[in-house]
Amino acid sequence: MKILGIDTSCDDTSIALVEGRKVLANCISSQDATHKEFGGVVPILAKREHEKNFPLVLEKALATAGVQPHDIDAIAVTIGPGLAPSLEIGVTKAVQLAQEWQKPLEPVHHMEGHLWSALAADAHGEGGLDPDTLTFPALGILASGGHTEIVLIHGWGKYEIIGETLDDALGEAYDKVARMLGLGFPGGGKLARLADEGDASAYALPIAMRQSGDYNVSYSGIKTATLRLIREITNTGERTLQDQEMKDVAASFQNAALETLLGKVKKVLVEYPVSHVLLGGGVAANTVLREKLHQTLAPTGAAVAWPYTFSLCQDNAAMIALAAQLHFQHNYHLKLEKLDRRPQWRLDDFSQNVLSSAT
């Protein structure tokens, strides 16, 4: 099947074409320049930009894939979770296109897209985890700017969140610490690059929720401790951080933040031995997270997979079209009375509303 995917859940307008698990086009129009001066995403500006960019991104996606509307078998759209005004544009445009082109419309949960993004392959079918090799239960680790979730995957369409953040998402914590260091917004990627040149043991920052007895994580304590550390080093702003100090603070923060998550993953694997772990979301681009996860899994024998390219880690529509492919292939679809945006929508809520499912 050739599926056109649409994702406008936050501040990127993305349209993709996917055939099976081959990504024929994955076009993403970033709004970073629009939101930068505000230090965060401004929903009403995001909506305006989505509206403006949508036709351009659509044209580019069709041209890149070399596909005409009549070649398309279905349209997939993110209906949630995300920013309501942003989601609204994607859903409205998807409904219009489905009517105009007379195609079935498949609603997709944004986090289900991130969950399966490691299965995506390039246009020639190279890269990505072959779903035929996947065994259930599997474990999903989702870390983005809006979510941090540890998901037990019982089967296609059967997801159970067994751990999640109690406050900030991991990517959000990276962005907030990046702002403290004057790296701009969104600074998570820049902070990670600084950390690569720093000493992670330079400063001791707390690893959170170690004794909580569950699989949840928290980042607000680490964030506050990092702010306190910066104040201490700079004598409450009397001097600026030197280059090496910046790198060491970044590396020490990263170490505490990642160890917090991986400590929980280690515990999960004791209770739920799985053979596959799938990593997804913007923070899945982080090379230290990938290395640490690899080390964490080594003694268990579980294999880890992450998206084969950066654009599949960040918000993108290829993962949405891919999730829809899986819906059709494994025959599970959402039971919806009305197709509408769902800004607050949990992944396990999705599982309770599928019409039929196969393992």
Binding region for ligand KG4 (CB under 6 A): 10, 144-146, 171-172, 174-175, 186, 188-189, 192, 281-283, 285-286, 314-315
Residue 314 interaction partner, one of ligand KG4, Zn ion, none, beta carbon < 5-8 Å per kind: ligand KG4
| The dihedral sign for the CA sequence 353, 355, 356, 359 | negative
Q: Which is nearer to Zn ion, 172 or 259 (CB)?
A: 172
- Beta bridge partner(s), residue 18: 3, 23
In angstroms, the CA 285 to CA 186 distance is 14
CB atoms within 10 A of CB 284: 25
- Residue 186 CB, shortest distance to ligand KG4, in Å, is 4
DSSP per-residue codes, 273-302: --SEEEEESGGGG-HHHHHHHHHHHGGGT-
Q: Is 14 in the site for Zn ion (CB under 5 A)?
A: no
Neighbour order of strands in the sheet with 148-155:
158-164, 148-155, 138-143, 276-280, 303-305
Of 74 and 117, nearer to ligand KG4 (C-beta) is 117
Select 18 or 178, whichever has its Cβ closest to ligand KG4.
Answer: 178
Q: Which of these, 190, 251, 257, lies nearest to 222 by C-alpha position? A: 257
- Least gap, CB of 295 to Zn ion (angstroms): 26
| 198 touches, from ligand KG4, Zn ion, none (C-beta below 5 to 8 Å by class) | none
Listed residue (153, 123, 170) closest to 20, CA to CA = 123
Phi, psi of 271, deg, nearest 5:
-80, -35
The SS3 of residue 245 is helix
- Comparison of 81 and 198: residue with beta carbon closer to Zn ion: 81
CB of 311 closer than 8 Å to CB of 115 = no
Number of residues counted as binding Zn ion (CB under 5 A): 2
Residue 342: which of 49, 108, 143 has the closest Cα?
108
Distance CA 194, CA 249 (A): 9
- Contact code string over 287-326 relative to Zn ion, x by CB under 5 A: ----------------------------x-----------
- Interaction partner, residue 286 (ligand KG4, Zn ion, none; CB < 5-8 Å by kind): ligand KG4
Distance in Å, CB of 145 to Zn ion, minimum: 7
CB under 5 to 8 A by kind: which of ligand KG4, Zn ion, none does 148 bind? none
Nearest distance, CB of residue 351 and ligand KG4, angstroms: 20
List the single partner that 285 binds among ligand KG4, Zn ion, none, CB under 5 to 8 Å by kind. Answer: ligand KG4
Pick 9 or 325: Cβ nearer Zn ion: 9
Question: Is the Cβ of residue 245 or residue 315 nearer to ligand KG4 in the bound state?
Answer: 315
* Residue ranges binding Zn ion (CB under 5 A): 144, 315
